[in-house]
């Protein structure tokens, strides 16, 4: 069955003034989340207690922790450490996958 989640987020980006977050797939031990960020939007500081990979599939974002910033472009990925406060800022309209578990 075809899933339109990412296309739905792309269509919502131009008029959004906050992150768009939707679960793409959820299993017993894992979850894949789609994160849409319009240019200039920040996913505010938070932390996770689940091992998570951030994968940029379109755009350009900056992953920020207290003492480091990492620029990620399309097809770049990053392991997000657990229990570390971080945020994600979009330099251009971006779509990311958060793969947890």
The confidence score (pLDDT) of residue 5 equals 95
Please give the average per-residue pLDDT across 81-94, as a whole number: 97
* pLDDT surpasses 80 at 1: no
The domain that holds 51 is classified in CATH as 2.60.120.10
Please give the average per-residue pLDDT across 17-25, as a whole number: 96
Please give the average per-residue pLDDT across 60-73, as a whole number: 97
Number of domain units in the chain: 1
Q: What pTM value is reported for the model?
A: 0.92
| Euclidean distance between CA atoms 36 and 9, whole angstroms | 6
The confidence score (pLDDT) of residue 80 equals 97
Beta strands in the chain (DSSP E): 20-26, 31-37, 42-46, 52-58, 60-64, 69-73, 77-80, 86-90, 94-100
Contact 9, 61 (CB under 8 A): no
Q: How confident is the model at residue 2 (pLDDT cuts 50, 70, 90)?
A: confident
* pLDDT surpasses 80 at 23: yes
Range of the domain at 71: 5-100
The confidence score (pLDDT) of residue 77 equals 98
The confidence score (pLDDT) of residue 64 equals 98
């Amino acid at each position: 069955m075809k899933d339109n989640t990412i296309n739905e987020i792309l269509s919502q980006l131009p008029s959004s003034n906050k992150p768009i977050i939707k679960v793409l797939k959820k299993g017993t031990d894992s979850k894949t989340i789609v994160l849409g960020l319009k240019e200039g939007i920040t996913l505010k500081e938070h932390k996770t207690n689940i091992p998570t990979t951030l994968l940029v599939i379109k755009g350009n974002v900056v992953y920020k922790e207290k003492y480091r910033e990492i620029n990620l472009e399309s097809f770049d990925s990053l392991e997000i450490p657990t229990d570390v406060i971080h945020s994600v800022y979009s330099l251009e309209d971006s779509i990311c996958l958060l793969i947890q578990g």
